[in-house]
Structure 1
């Protein structure tokens, strides 16, 4: 199997009151290390709550979940909150099946995430 790290990426943009990281592609072992490092650079300069928009993620595995956990930890160490918006069915199942659903605040849409705050441990997605 050929691993192509270019099959995942993200776009960072500032919106009033938030930094939105729109992730696209696949979050798997071949892509997450590079994404984690790039997102860490954004978090190091962030001063506003962060929303990770996963609407463009086509696949995620345990390494994708580990990356999200790491991003959240790094943000918390900087005093920032992280919310996840628009996780597809596969992505939203990962925290639940791993027992980490209490660790994430998830919203069904980016608009809902921007309105926040959500209740950690109670995903706002069905």
Structure 2
């Protein structure tokens, strides 16, 4: 599966970024550029939809932390949603579920 990002507004004034494919060292720069562009539009909430994300390495984990920090600086809430169970487990093991707005396992 090729890596792709899809940005879409939501009725609640938020913006969702759907991540498709592997979020890893090779793709994190594109992910963070998309995050930065989206934050400049000042959405009420930034949703990161991981339902089509197939892999997350340490670079992808770091990118989520960077995205959260950027959103916090801008006063925007960041919520990660719909991760596959393996990715949810990785985010749980790294202690990031609460930070990223995910429910516990």
Q: Same fold (TM over 0.5)?
A: yes
Distance, in Å, in 2 between the alignment partners of 1:68 and 1:12 is 16
Cross-structure match for 1:104: 100
The alignment status of 1:84 with 2:87, answered yes or no, reads no
User: Once the two structures are superposed, what CA deviation does each residue of 1:43-95 show, in whole Å capped at 9, x if it has no partner?
Assistant: 11123111111001011111111111111110111100011110011211122
Cross-structure match for 2:11: 16
Cross-structure match for 1:111: none
User: Which protein is bigger by CA-based radius of gyration?
Assistant: 1
The alignment status of 1:49 with 2:45, answered yes or no, reads yes
The alignment status of 1:67 with 2:63, answered yes or no, reads yes
By percentage of residues, which structure has more helix? 1
Runs of 4+ in structure 1 over 2 Å off = 99-102
- How many residues align structurally? 104
The answer for unaligned runs of 5 or more in structure 1 is 1-5, 107-122
> So what's the TM-score if we normalise by structure 2?
0.88
Distance, in Å, in 1 between the alignment partners of 2:92 and 2:43 is 29
The answer for unaligned runs of 5 or more in structure 2 is none
Distance, in Å, in 2 between the alignment partners of 1:7 and 1:70 is 23
RMSD: 1.7
